Structure 1
Amino acid sequence: MLVVHGLWTREQRLALWVEAPRRRPGPARPADLAALPRTWDALISALASPVTGTLPVSLPCTPSGRPAASTGRPRTDLRLLPVDLDVVELTGERAVTLLLELSAPAGDGVRLSDGLAWLVHVAAGARRAVDAGHVVPDLAPAGDRGFTARWVPAPDRAVGRWRTAVAQACPPVLRAERSHRGPAHGPPQALDLLDDLCGVVVDVLVAARTAHVVPHDLPDGASARAWIGALRTGEPLRGEGWAALSRRVREWQRSGEDAGYDVLLRVVEPEPWEDVPAHLADGHLDGDDSPEAPDQSWRLQVRLRPLDDPSLVLTLEEARTETRAGGSAAGEDPLLVLLTGAARAGAAHPPLKRLLSGRADAAAQDGVDLTIEELLDLVEQGGPRLTAAGVALQLPRHWTKKALTFSLSASASQPGAITDPQVRKDDLLDFRWQAALGDSPVTEAELLALAASKSSLVRFRGEWVQVDPEALARSARFLRTRGNGKASLLDVLATVGTGKDLPGPVTSVDARGVLGDVLSGQAAERLPELPDPPGLHAVLRPYQRRGLTWLATMSRLGLGAVLADDMGLGKTLQLLALLAHERGDEPGPTLLVCPMSVVGNWAAEAAKFAPDLRVHVHHGTGRPRGAEFTALVAQRDLVVTTYGLLVRDVADLAAADWHRVALDEAQYVKNAATRQARAVRAVGSRHRVALTGTPVENRLEDLRAVLDATNPGLLGSAATFRDRFAVPIEKLGHAEPAERLALVTRPFVLRRVKTDPAVAGDLPEKIEMTVRANLTPEQAALYRRAVDDLTERLQDKDSDPGGLSRRGLILAALTRLKQICNHPAHYLGDSSGVLHRGRHRSGKLQLLDDIVTSARSEGEKVLCFTQFAEFGHLLGPHLAGLTGEPVPFLHGGVSRRGRDAMVAEFAEADGPGVMLLSLKAGGTGLNLVAANHVVHVDRWWNPAVEDQATDRAFRIGQRRQVQVRKLVSVGTVEERVDAVISRKRDLADRVVGSGEGWITDLDTDALRELLRLGDDAVGE
């Protein structure tokens, strides 16, 4: 075993040596280098160098004075003796590069010593701080060399906890260096080692990324500018006054969480001007003579924001005035904060260095000009980097980035036929595509106008919207050439499913009548229920009767159906009921293909529940073949065979005239390339049904294969599906392909689970309660401001025909009000803290803390649902700090593997006690009965959606009482909508079931009453 040792010296050097069996520790030999993994190039290069120094250390030694081996059995006869080791020494960038390289796995027969492994861990932590922008400039004494300007990890509480934990794990060998100045000085302390190494790593990495940082040209603060400049050059700072500035810097660092200011970059829009001029609608997409959009003069301002009042934005002079007046930031130097914040912003997003270099004084006053390209780069690329670096970026409130989407409407070629149950999948329908920017429909002429403006940022109906001119042009051409026409239903849906030639994502497919009910995915609930069919010797449960109705409707329309009820909910009975329902019309035989293990069960179930059906089991050596089989089939209602016999007798089966092919345990055909899947496709029929309790077992291809067996071509080929759905959804976590897949598949899949109390009668008691929280004064001020802004804009709407639609204004305002009720930081999006000086900024969050603390003290687990992924990311770290344990957050961006791991870990007795879930990603399909507390932190305003989420814990397998708490803010729209839902649940299901859409239909007075802030809203 070859062991590579490392030690961080007092001279900020990385000392390396190797230990091999039966020889003294020291320089590496060629055989040692050959044993090292090739990924460790920097280490191999370093150890291949001649010995560069001697390191005096104190090591455990054997009685003969030889350093003890670090591997093998521990010995009791060792004593600490002075040893001089021949070592390779690395400094600065070479040392940092090597330590970061060693985070790669070692090969067999090689390991890092405990000391070197600790140094690697510390270096990796420092790199993470740099990657997150979690670093600050420092000014530290450097002995005879004066003072050194360098970057260090931000000294906040999180870093403090990490320092303490890592220092406690520091191996003793790292304190083995003997001091040249005698034993009186003692060994280095673990925290000193950690801070020293972190400082070097951060300084090297930040210097590499900020090579062009220059002092900002401000009217005063020469010392501060020299300090910032030295961060780039590395030159020591000598002379008077540096000790005082060093103390100010340390005080500024320590005050980061409690008082003072943070830096805000604010984007100011141009003076108001018209939307894209109407005459541009006559422009052409080709040629260079299209009219240009007016010049847009955007400005970037640097502002300061008091940490104790994050809603207040100050100029440099205003901050100085407040500081002189003895405000909460007294003692803070606004100029110092502005300089270092601007430098940190430039380090996070390099283009800002050029924009702000030499113009910080202008940016601190009126601002500096931005081109459209600079602005979009700042928003799209710089925004996430600045957020990670702790620098807030504020955009105009009516800035938006709206997706260009499409919806499809279908109607019958023959008036009234769309409502006729006899319309079938091959009948031609009239279809029409409609484009939209966000929620606003756009015409071909408007798309042409926006594209002709040749700008990626346009004024559209009162908002600044980021657009792709090329996408707009493609969409206009698509509407012009293929915007409407005639096609069969499956052809239309296949266009949506494959996405072929579509210039944007599809959000909805609409029709009227029976077909509209089917396309909505809610046919089982909307269609009038069929009675129990004659000849069926069973009483169907309500959900089974709805399943029969859905299957019969799909059969009349000629659309393939996937009945995906949970195991044990009666898929067999529902299919037998369908055959009994159709028997009087003599539609023809049904071929039922199933695994061999359930052939007998099908025959027995048919005899028991539908004895009038003429059943033939096609199995055994004496089974009829050829013409005999064809004649027999014509006299039967149901023919049962196996997947194995389907392959062997495919010619005979394909020759028969089948009304329906039904596939039980349809996951048997999830691999479309197998012989049995090919045999299924070879057998023709007028209708197809698949029965499965697991429509997606391991991957989305399972679902495609099953649907391809029932509706061939709906989702395209396996390769097309993999490129357009499987990879984007399963591997990349993209939301749009998942939404489009659900849009296309939901008409053809009926899925019920045992969590429905009407399905299973053994569920435990569930207690639901609405818990109310008061707003903080900060929340109340933001809430009033948002309501006043909406009221004012609604009053101005009639005089601003180019403004937002009334519906859009109201929906946007509702989202803002929900965010305010959650937390000011959620609404502001400014990276301000969840708490301020240890106190809550949100009454709802304080209430959540009480619920979680109480539940965890009893050893019980909690599920917390929110509809906002960004709020979940705020809650996670806070709840983890509250409980002292990790808090997983399951949202749409989590991969399936990560999702499964979270669920499995949460189910363990010693797993996390709290799990956060976004309502969309975690509201269905999960079994989380380890929890018996469910908290809806914010409301979806759709009872069915909330119930689905609650049923992650309230389901079969739950053995405890489930407590469900729905949090609402007192005196706000949340409380009043909750009253509507609670007052009459059946009305709420019909009126409020689609979310908040009903609110947009209220007149202005009723709306103002619904949204107003009540007198009892604010707590102490």
Structure 2
Amino acid sequence: MVIASLSKARGARAAPAITARPWDLVIVDEAHHVKNRTTASWKIVNAIETRFLLLLTATPIETDLEEIYNLVTLLRPGQFQTPAAFKAQFVDKSDPTSPKNRERLRALLGEVMIRNTRAACGLKLPPRFVTTSLVDPAPEERALYEAVVGLVRADVESGRRATLGSILLLEAGSSPDAVSATLMKAEKRDGLSALSDAARTAAAAGTRKLEHLATLLAAHQGHGLVFTRFRETAAAIVRSLERAKLRTAQFIGGMSGAEKQDALARFRDERCVLVATDVGGEGQNLQHCNVVINFDVPWNPMLLEQRIGRLHRMGQEREVHVYNLASRGTAEERLLDVLDRRVHLFELVVGEMDMVLGNLTDDRDLEDRVLALYAHSKNDGEVEQGFDAIAQELLRARGRYEDTRKLDSAVFGEDFNA
């Protein structure tokens, strides 16, 4: 058995070995990456000798009908004859995205394609309601955030790598406790002593998000899933909630399997608050709860979707309430403004956000782009302009996804609609 990425498989070293022998089965995940027969990815799959070929994709067609021809040709060469014959029989010259002879096209596709949609699987999820909760930071917390932004910009100006600054900026959007813990471990550097003092002062004052969190949980009878990216923030949350007389359990990295299972059992049976780091966003089914609170907001929207997906999944019978907490004046506030208010990404159903993000023309992760904005901007105005550009690109990406859905419907018909 060989498991390899497409980029690895098509490489000069791997390709000769992969194509030198026959295989019983080849599986290509995210097969929309081989929809163009002029690319090296399509050519390496076409060159592999195999008894069975399985192509897996949620978007077999995205921009034009020729993509279907290219994928089907990998599965069964000659199914659509030649490219010219395919175009003549199925492509409307006046509108290349509108297929003609649709019933014949669907019959031929039915010989090589199986479509599993949400409708066919009977997946009907209850609605989810996403709320952005903005909190005014304490003066000490605001001063710490501005100091961290200054460090990020100073590192870029001096030519130093912004690794520490990027971590601290993420932590500053979470809690002063997370910033303080990292600075205690950091090597001695000019300017860090003053930043450490600011972090300790802000941690002593506490983040006002903690007060808002306790209020939200009390409104839901003290039962909810609270996510944070950082263990130090998780500890601060637990201390604050216990002072507010709310029962808690923790699910964080470093715990044993038995400890994690005990925490999940308490969360289910005692209906307490589960405070989890992102390790709790992977592989857990927690649909017995219907409240999830993101105490800090990942800059990668798919991590947010993964967190929400622990509750909003098959088996959930109640409306799901999602709260995204952010301090005003932070990257998290600006990112939520883009994702929620302007682009409405949280309105999408399961799986659609990934497809929209896949339509972005900039290959960098949003996390990298947000960091670059703060590192290279000279003031808040330039930061705002950068977020405006991200918003416009996301809107265009969502528009391309909507066009893909229309083309998908035209090709596959109502029987295949989700």
TM over 0.5: yes
What residue number does 2:326 align with?
Answer: 968
Aligned to 1:957: 315
Q: Does 1:413 align with 2:12?
A: yes
The answer to whether residue 167 in structure 2 is matched with residue 815 in structure 1 is yes
Contact 2:210 2:240 in 1 (8 A): no
The aligned runs of 1:302-381 (5 Å cut-off) are: none
Structure 2: which amino acid aligns with 1:794? V
Deviation sequence 1:975-1019 (CA, Å, 0-9, x none): 122223333347756359734112354496636437979xxxxxx
1:880 partner SS:
helix
Task: Using structure 1 for the length normalisation, give the TM-score.
Answer: 0.25
**Deviation of the 1:874 alpha carbon:** 2.8
TM-superposed CA distance for 1:776, in Å, is 0.6
Counterpart pick for 2:251 among 874, 887, 890: 890
- Which residue matches 2:146? 784
Map 1:537-552 → 2, pairs under 5 A: none
Equivalent residue, structure 1, for 2:129: 767
Counterpart pick for 1:851 among 208, 213, 216: 216
- For residue 365 of structure 2, what is the aligned residue in structure 1? 994
8 Å Cα contact 1:820-1:826 kept in structure 2: yes
Distance in 1, Cα, partners of 2:316 & 2:377: 43
Q: Which has the higher contact order (CA 8 A, sep 6+)?
A: 2
Residues of 2 paired with 1:956 and 1:851: CA distance? 25
The aligned length equals: 298
Matched ranges for 1:650-729 at <5 A: none
1:54-65 alignment, distance < 5 Å? none
The counterpart of 1:1009, out of the listed 371, 380, 385, is 380
- Per the alignment, residue 196 of structure 2 pairs with none
Distance 1:898 1:561 in 2: 43
Tell which structure's C-alpha radius of gyration is larger: 1
1:950–1:611 distance in 2 versus 1, CA, 3 Å: closer
Q: CA deviation at 1:862?
A: 0.5
| CA displacement 1:401-451 (0-9 Å, x = unmatched) | xxxxxxx9776339xxx8xxxx575348xxxxxxxxxxxxxxxxxxxxxxx
Equivalent residues of 1:766, 1:963 under 8 A apart:
yes
| CA deviation map 1:814-857 (0-9, x unaligned) | 32133223222221127979985xxx621222211211122126
**What aligned pairs does 1:240-639 form with structure 2 within 5 A after superposition?**
412-413=11-12, 423=15, 426-427=18-19, 523-524=30-31, 526-528=33-35, 556=48, 582=75
CA distance in 1, matches of 2:52, 2:368: 33
Give the Cα–Cα distance (whole angstroms) in 2 for the partners of residues 938 and 962 of structure 1.
Answer: 19
| 2:228 counterpart of 1:866 | yes
Give, in whole Å, the separation in 1 of the partners of 2:262 and 2:47: 40
2:274 to 894, 915, 933: 915
Question: Aligned partners of 1:764, 1:917: CA distance in 2, in Å?
Answer: 24
In the alignment, is the contact (CA less than 8 A) between 2:177 and 2:232 conserved in 1?
no
Q: Distance in 1 between matches of 2:54 and 2:268?
A: 31
- Report if aligned partners of 1:778, 1:824 keep a CA contact under 8 Å in 2: no
Q: Given the superposition, is the C-alpha separation of residues 949 and 524 from structure 1 closer, same or farther in structure 2, using an over 3 Å criterion?
A: farther
Per-residue deviation at 1:904?
3.3
Report if aligned partners of 1:775, 1:842 keep a CA contact under 8 Å in 2: yes
Write the distance in 2 (CA, Å) between the matches of 1:562 and 1:901: 40
Aligned ranges for residues 187-206 of structure 1 at < 5 Å?
none
Secondary structure at 1:856 match in 2: coil
Q: SS where residue 785 of structure 1 aligns?
A: helix
The SS at the match of 1:412 is: coil
- SS of structure 2 residue aligned to 1:900: helix
**1 CA distance for matches of 2:377 and 2:263?**
44
- Name the SS for the 2:140 alignment partner: helix
More helix by share: 2
Residue 66 of structure 2 corresponds to: none
2:329 alignment partner, SS class: coil
Q: Aligned pair 1:824/2:185, yes or no?
A: no
2:286 to 922, 928, 935: 928
Aligned to 1:22: none
Greater percentage in strand: 1
Cα distance in 1 for partners of 2:46, 2:252 equals 34
Helix, strand or coil: the match of 2:224?
A: strand
Query: SS where residue 220 of structure 2 aligns?
Result: helix
Cα distance in 2 for partners of 1:410, 1:1012 equals: 40
Q: Which residue does the alignment assign to 1:113?
A: none
Mapped contact 1:791–1:1008 kept (Cα < 8 A): no
Per the alignment, do residues 791 and 412 of structure 1 end up closer, same or farther by CA in structure 2, a change over 3 Å counting? closer
Q: What does the per-residue CA deviation read over 1:578-630, in whole Å, with 9 as the maximum and x for residues that have no partner?
A: 999846679xxxxxxxxxxxxxxxxxxxxxxx9989xxxxxxxxxxxxxxxxx
CA distance in 2 between partners of 1:561 and 1:585 (Å): 15
Q: Assess if the C-alpha contact under 8 Å between 1:929 and 1:953 holds in 2.
A: yes
Residues 902/562 of structure 1: CA separation in 2 closer, same or farther (3 Å cut):
farther
C-alpha root-mean-square deviation of aligned residues, in Å?
4.9
Cα distance in 1, alignment partners of residues 220 and 47 from structure 2: 50
SS of residue matched to 2:287: coil
Structure 1 unaligned spans of 5+: 1-407, 429-487, 491-514, 531-549, 566-577, 587-609, 614-752, 798-803, 1014-1020
CA distance in structure 1 between the aligned counterparts of 2:241 and 2:35, rounded to whole angstroms: 47
| 8 A contact 1:424–1:558 mirrored in 2 | no
Give the distance between the partners of 2:119 and 2:229, measured in 1 at CA.
24
Is 1:878 the equivalent of 2:240? yes
> CA 1:855/1:1003 → structure 2, altered by over 3 Å: closer, same or farther?
closer
Is the 1:768–1:964 contact (alpha carbons within 8 Å) kept by the matching residues of 2? yes
Identical amino acids, percent of aligned pairs: 22
